[in-house]
Amino acid sequence: MRTLKRDLKENIIYLALWIIMFVAPLLGEYIQSSQSMGFGFNWDVVFDVWRVFAAYFVIFLIHNFLVAPLLIYRQKRGRYLFLAGVLVALFVAVQCSFHPGKPMGKRPPRHQMPMMEQPFEHHPVPPHDGHHEPPARLLNGDMLHTFVIVFLLGMNLGVKLYFKNERDNKKMQQLKSRNLEQQLERLRYQLNPHFFMNTLNNIHALIDIDAAKAKTTIVDLSRLMRYVLYEGAKPTVPLQRDIAFMNDYLQLMKIRYADGVRITASFPTDTPETEIPPMLFISFIENAFKHGISYKHNSFIDIRLYIEAQRICFTCNNSTHVQKGDTHQGGVGLANVRQRLDLLYPENYTLDIQKTASEYRVSMSIPFNP
């Protein structure tokens, strides 16, 4: 539905242009027949033109809906060039193998013309063997059709690029506005007194029990807040930095929970060089801690991030514990994450969220950009 709305304006323009093209032969034949004495409206001419236009139209549809998106939306240049070349070659092969026995839209021969329209001088007509037209003439016609189909494909590609750039500019404006709102939301959330109170209370308790661990926790908290305030304002950050941020967050959260909570995380040991939007995964982890932990029941949170088939894959599974009045498990920022994905990776990401009676599963993948 989103794709249909996005392409509606573009498809309306294509429809209007093709209607004009198919109506033009009707108007041209009507004008010619009204200005020529002794000739009526010749439908053969119109049908011959329409047959050629129909071939153009079929090639256009294949290119517009199947071939052009490979280049415009998926950046598959080699595959696009190959398929576009196949379309043109197929069209040329059909044109060369099929030639009507008479020129397109041929009018009655000269001896059937009214007397008033016959010329005064008679010039002998060279004999015709009744076969195909001369090769040079056929070659010129085939070349003309080939140039027309190449022009149509190029025009289609240019129009799609224009509308894609227009949509991209709108998305970038929306993304900038949304990023500003999310920065303010992240700042308000991280400066929430509950977050600091819980973390500082844990550090205070650790000072007397394990002073070395208390120092490490302070460093983790400082590094986490520095990432939120400075790295979070950037459009992209290295994947390694975002993984380090998630590790710091998990270390702080593990201090708060007893042995009844099993928290596991798996991240790549050799992180590849790639950029991702900052804090894209943390909303799911926050949601897992908010809704997946129970002090009365055994709970678990399992987090994985890995690279597979040139995509960054992320999963977050946690236990669920239904409480009275808890009818919705939306979590913090999940709607914002989905909107960010729509703007950053339109039609090129996956996000699957499933909830059962005992488990909440999140699975997401985004393209890997080295």
Domain coordinates in residue numbering, the chain: 2-117+132-171, 191-367
| Radius of gyration for the chain, computed over Cα atoms and rounded to the nearest angstrom | 34
Q: What is the pLDDT of residue 37?
A: 61
- Distance CA(4)–CA(167), nearest Å, equals 13
Q: What is the per-residue pLDDT across 208-222, written as a single tens digit (0 to 9) for each?
A: 888 888 888 888 888
Q: Regarding predicted confidence, which is higher, 293 or 188?
A: 293
Pick the CATH number of 191-367 from 3.40.1390.10, 3.20.20.70, 3.30.565.10, 3.40.50.1820: 3.30.565.10
Q: What is the per-residue pLDDT across 225-282, written as a single tens digit (0 to 9) for each?
A: 888 888 877 888 999 999 999 998 898 888 887 677 899 999 998 888 899 988 889 8
Q: What is the pLDDT of residue 29?
A: 83
What burial class does residue 198 get, using C-beta atoms within 10 Å of its C-beta: 0-12 exposed, 13-18 middle, 19+ buried? middle
Q: What is the per-residue pLDDT across 9-59, written as a single tens digit (0 to 9) for each?
A: 888 888 888 898 889 888 888 887 777 666 677 888 888 888 888 888 888
Average pLDDT value for the chain: 78
Q: What is the per-residue pLDDT across 151-166, written as a single tens digit (0 to 9) for each?
A: 888 888 888 888 888 8
Q: What is the pLDDT of residue 139?
A: 43
What are φ and ψ of residue 278, in 5° steps?
Answer: -70, 145
User: Two tokens at 98?
Assistant: 């099929």
Which pTM was predicted?
0.53
- Distance CA(11)–CA(14), nearest Å, equals 5
Q: What is the pLDDT of residue 318?
A: 95
Q: Regarding predicted confidence, which is higher, 56 or 96?
A: 56
Find the helix or strand (DSSP H, E) in which 52 lies. helix 43-62
